[in-house]
Amino acid sequence: MSPTSYRVDALQYCNWSEKIFRQMRDGSVDAVHVTIAYHENFRETVANIEQWNEYFEQFPHLIFHGITGDDVRLARDTNRTAIFYGFQNPSPIEDDIRLVEILHSLGVRFMQLSYNNQSMLATGCYEAEDPGITRMGREVIEEMNRVGLVVDMSHSAERSTLEAIQISARPIVITHANPAFWAPALRNKSNTVLEALAQTGGMMGFSLYPHHLKDKGACTLQSFCEMVAECAGLMGVDNIGLGSDLCQDQPDSVVEWMRVGRWTKKIDFGEGSANNAGFPPMPDWFQGNHHFGNVEQGLREVGFTAEDTAKVMGNNWLRFFDQNFGPED
Amino acid sequence: MSPTSYRVDALQYCNWSEKIFRQMRDGSVDAVHVTIAYHENFRETVANIEQWNEYFEQFPHLIFHGITGDDVRLARDTNRTAIFYGFQNPSPIEDDIRLVEILHSLGVRFMQLSYNNQSMLATGCYEAEDPGITRMGREVIEEMNRVGLVVDMSHSAERSTLEAIQISARPIVITHANPAFWAPALRNKSNTVLEALAQTGGMMGFSLYPHHLKDKGACTLQSFCEMVAECAGLMGVDNIGLGSDLCQDQPDSVVEWMRVGRWTKKIDFGEGSANNAGFPPMPDWFQGNHHFGNVEQGLREVGFTAEDTAKVMGNNWLRFFDQNFGPED
C-alpha cells in the first residue's frame, strides 16, 4: 500500500476569507505556509498573528495553527488545513536577534533573510550589488538554526543565497520561485543555486505566480510540469515541492505594499511595469486552492510515478517540516 | 506508598542569578512562578522574556521554561526548576484583548487584573474606591478563561476580587498574600475573600514577604505555620499553597519601581513608609529558596500530616497547574 499523499503549499498570501479556506478543503490542501509579514515591524507582526487567531476562532472547522509536521497529519485526519506562519523579510525581528526565539515561540517557521532590497542580513534580488551575508546575518542564521526557524532565500540575490546555504548548519529553502533556465526573471534561480540547495538537503518550492512562469498567465500546465520534471533530474525528486505564491482576491494596493513598503516615496513596479502594475492574471488551470488536483494530474501526465507525484505535492515538505521546525535532536 | 511531594512557589521576583538558581536546587524547588512584568508594556515584557531566554541558554542544567503541569514533573525528574511566567499588572496587554492569547502563546500563565492602583480591568488595594470589575475586565476574564491564563487578584481590592471570583468561569488565585485576621494589611485578605476563593476551587498562596507577616521580619515559623493551619480549617487543605513573594538580592530601586512605576512623579511608599522605604529584612528561617525545608518542617510541627504538608508545599499548585494552564477540555 502506498503511503498517504499529503498536499502542502509552501507559500500563499491571499486576501483570507471563508471562501478561500473552503477552497483549501475543496483542493484537499493539508497545509499552507502563509506570509504574515512583508515589511511589518515586531508589533505590527504581532497584530497580524492576532488577526490569524481571530480566523482560527471563526473557522475552527476549516483551519488551525500549524506548529509541527504532525499538525499536517492532524489536518488530514480532521479534514482541515494547518496554517504555518512565515515572513518574506526579516523586518519583524527589527535589530534584535532575541526576537528570533520570541517569534518562533509564537509559531513562526520560515523567515526570508531579505525581500527585494538589502536588509540588515542579506541582499535582495533587485539590488545592483550583492555583498553577501552580513555580520548580523551570520548571527541570525545561527540563532534560526538553534531554535528551528527555517531560512528562506526566495527573494534574495545569488551570492547571498549561496552563502546562506553554506553558512546555515541546517538545510534552507526557497519556498517560492522557479528555475531561471525556464523563465528568466530576477526572482528565478540559477542552476548553481538549485544544485547547492539540493546538495545540502534544502527544498525548492515551485511558484505559480505569473511573473515567475514561462509565458506568464498563458503558461500551460504541461510546460510547468515538464519544468518540474527537469528540476527533479537536476536536484533529485526529494528536494522539490510547491510554493504557489497564490495571492488570491488581493486588491492591487497590496502588491504595491509588497513592493514599496515604507522604503520609498515613489512607486516601484517590482516584477511588473508601469502599464502592468497590479496583480497579473493566474493561469486558468490554477486559480486557487481548489485547483491543486490539476497540478497533481499534470505531474502524472508528464511521467511522474504516483510516489514521486506525492513527494512533489507535499510529502517532501512534510518530511522537511518534521526535521526543521524545532531544535535539532 | 505516599505520592511524590512537589515543591512549588507561586510567586518570586528576585534579582536572578546563578546563585539563586542554585539555591532553588538546594531547596528542591521544582517550580517557581516568577513575575516578569510590574508596569511594563507589551514590548518591554517581550524584552523581559528575552532576558529569561538568555537565562535558559546560560543555565540549562538548573532551570527551564515551564508551560504545563507536566513540566513540574519533568523538573523533578531532571533535577531542575521549571520557571512559570506571570504579570502583577495587566499592563502587558495594553488596550488590546488579543494580546492575552499572544502572551499565553509566549508562555505566560498568571496575570493580576490590577496591581495597587486602578487598572483598565479592576481596582487595586490602595485605591479609596473600588467600583469592581470594569467592562474591559469582564471581556479579558472571559478571554483568559478561554486560553488558560489564570486570573490573579493578589494586589486587588476586595469588591473587585469577589467579582472576579464570581465572573470567572474557571477558578482564580491569590498567588501571594496572607489572611488579614492574622496580619492586618491592605494587601492581606478577608475571610470573605478566602472562603469565596476556596468555594470556587481557587488557590491561596501564603506570602513570606515581611509586610504581609505578623510581626514582619520577626515573625516566627510557628506563627506562620499556625496561620496556615487555621486557613486550612477555613478553606480546606486542597486550596492552599505557598507564594513567598521572595525578592532576594534586589536593590531598593526595584521596590520603588514596583510601587511607583510611571504613574507618579512623586514617591509612593506602598506597604513601607518614609523611614522604612526599602525592602524589609526577611525572617531568619526564610532567607531564600534554600530554606523551603524549614517551612515543610514547621508545617509538620504544627500538626499537618505528611500528605497535607505535601499538598501545601506544592501538590495543590501542581493540581491547579494541570487543570488551568490551557483551554478547558
3 state SS of A14? coil
Look up residue A177 and give its three cell numbers.
520561485
Alpha helix segments (H runs only) across chain A: 18-26, 42-58, 70-78, 99-105, 135-147, 158-167, 191-199, 221-235, 252-260, 292-301, 306-310, 316-324
Determine contact: A105 vs chain B, CB below 8 A: yes
Cross-strand bridge partners of residue A163? none
Q: Answer for the pair A75, A81: CB distance below 8 angstroms, yes or no.
A: yes
Determine contact: A329 vs chain B, CB below 8 A: no
Chain A partners of B96 at a C-beta cutoff of 8 Å? 50
Cβ partners under 8 Å of residue B247, min gap 6: B12, B13, B14, B15, B209, B254, B255, B279
How far, in Å, CA of A197 to CA of A185, rounded? 19
How far, in Å, CA of B112 to CA of B152, rounded? 4
Cβ–Cβ below 8 Å for B54 and A96: no
Structure confidence by residue, pLDDT tens digits, A171-205: 999 999 999 999 999 999 999 999 999 999 999 99
How far, in Å, CA of B223 to CA of B214, rounded? 8
Q: Answer for the pair A205, A12: CB distance below 8 angstroms, yes or no.
A: no
Query: Minimal Cα–Cα distance from A40 to chain B, Å?
Result: 15
Alpha helix segments (H runs only) across A106-190: 135-147, 158-167
| One-character DSSP codes across A166-189 | HH-SS--EEEEE-BTTTS--TTSB
3 state SS of B175? strand
Chain B partners of A42 at a C-beta cutoff of 8 Å? 43, 46
pLDDT of residue A222: 98
Structure confidence by residue, pLDDT tens digits, A253-262: 888 889 889 9
**ipTM, 2 decimals?**
0.88
Look up residue B286 and give its three cell numbers.
526564610
Structure confidence by residue, pLDDT tens digits, A245-296: 999 999 988 888 898 899 988 888 888 888 888 888 999 999 999 999 999 9
Residue given cell 534552507 in the structure block: A172
Determine contact: A147 vs chain B, CB below 8 A: no
Cβ–Cβ below 8 Å for A98 and B43: no
Please determine, for residue A52, whether its predicted confidence score (pLDDT) is greater than 70: yes
- Name the nearest CA neighbour of B189 among B202, B170, B176, B199: B176
Given its phi and psi angles, is residue A130 left (phi above 0), alpha (psi -120 to 50 degrees) or beta? beta
How far, in Å, CA of B257 to CA of B46, rounded? 18
How far, in Å, CA of A211 to CA of A224, rounded? 13
How far, in Å, CA of B84 to CA of A147, rounded? 20
Determine contact: B99 vs chain A, CB below 8 A: yes
Backbone angles phi, psi at A152, to 5 degrees: -120, 125
3 state SS of A6? coil
pLDDT of residue B270: 80
Cross-strand bridge partners of residue B273? B276
Q: Answer for the pair B81, B63: CB distance below 8 angstroms, yes or no.
A: yes
pLDDT of residue B265: 85
Neighbours of B283 (CB within 10 A): 20
Pick A106's closest partner by Cβ from B96, B98, B106: B106
Cβ–Cβ below 8 Å for B96 and A50: yes
pTM of the model: 0.92
CA distances from B188 to A243, B161, B204, B210, B254 (A): 59, 12, 11, 12, 22
Cβ–Cβ below 8 Å for B50 and A99: yes
Determine contact: A328 vs chain B, CB below 8 A: no
Determine contact: A99 vs chain B, CB below 8 A: yes
Mean pLDDT across the stretch A38-59?
98
Please name the residue of chain A whose CA is at the shortest distance from the CA of residue B99. A50
Mean pLDDT across the stretch A133-150?
98
The residues of chain B scoring below 50 in pLDDT are none
Residue A150: enclosing H or E segment and its boundaries? Answer: strand A150-152
Cβ partners under 8 Å of residue A9, min gap 6: A29, A31, A32, A33, A242, A243, A244, A246, A289, A292
* Beta strand spans in chain B (E): 8-12, 31-37, 63-65, 81-87, 108-112, 150-152, 173-177, 203-206, 240-242
Domains of chain A, each with CATH number or no CATH: 8-324 (3.20.20.140)
Q: What percent of chain A has pLDDT over 70?
A: 99
Find the radius of gyration of the CA atoms of chain A: 18
Structure confidence by residue, pLDDT tens digits, A73-86: 999 999 999 999 99
pLDDT of residue B253: 87
DSSP code for B173 = E
Cβ partners under 8 Å of residue A264, min gap 6: none
Mean pLDDT, all residues of chain A: 96
Q: Answer for the pair B197, B213: CB distance below 8 angstroms, yes or no.
A: no
Give the best residue of B41, B52, B102, B139 to mutate against chain A (max A CB count within 10 A): B102
Residue B143: enclosing H or E segment and its boundaries? Answer: helix B135-147
How far, in Å, CA of A200 to CA of A192, rounded? 13
